[in-house]
């Protein structure tokens, strides 16, 4: 999961994933959407691929990239479980803070 979070920490990689959410794309088409060099886009694609968030397949001379739906689904599940655990605890802290403010005691 750390490699996936690190991959998602870059705004260009998040935009690449957003673009791939519309479907498979060639590396050249992906690069054309950004004002960075093709080698930079290749690096971003490699990071996303190594993190397991995208797949690549060759078709003749082209490389076609797509989101790895199962990996993204699993990552989303981990986030959902995180928030399912964290939100009730956050709610408890906020309610205790609000109660302390109503009662006029500093927290």
pLDDT tens readout for residues 39-96: 999 999 999 999 999 999 999 988 999 999 999 999 889 888 888 887 888 888 898 8
Domain that holds residue 95: 69-107
Q: Among 8, 21, 95, 99, which Cα is nearest to 51's?
A: 8
Q: Which residues 6+ apart lie within 8 Å of 72 measured at CB?
A: 17, 53
**49 and 93 share one domain:** no
**89 and 55 share one domain:** no
**24 and 48 share one domain:** yes
Residues forming a β-bridge with 59: 62
**63 and 75 share one domain:** no
Domain count, the chain: 2
Q: Is the pTM of this model over 0.85?
A: no
């Amino acid at each position: 999961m750390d490699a996936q979070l690190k991959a998602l920490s870059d705004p260009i990689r998040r935009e690449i994933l957003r673009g791939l959410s519309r479907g498979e794309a060639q590396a050249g088409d992906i690069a054309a959407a950004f004002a960075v060099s093709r080698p930079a886009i290749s690096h971003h694609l490699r990071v996303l691929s190594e993190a397991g968030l995208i797949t690549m397949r060759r078709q003749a001379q082209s490389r076609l990239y797509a989101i790895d739906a199962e990996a993204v689904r699993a990552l989303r599940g981990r986030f959902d479980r995180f928030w399912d655990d964290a939100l009730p605890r956050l709610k408890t802290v906020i309610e205790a803070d609000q109660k302390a403010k109503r009662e006029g005691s500093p927290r």
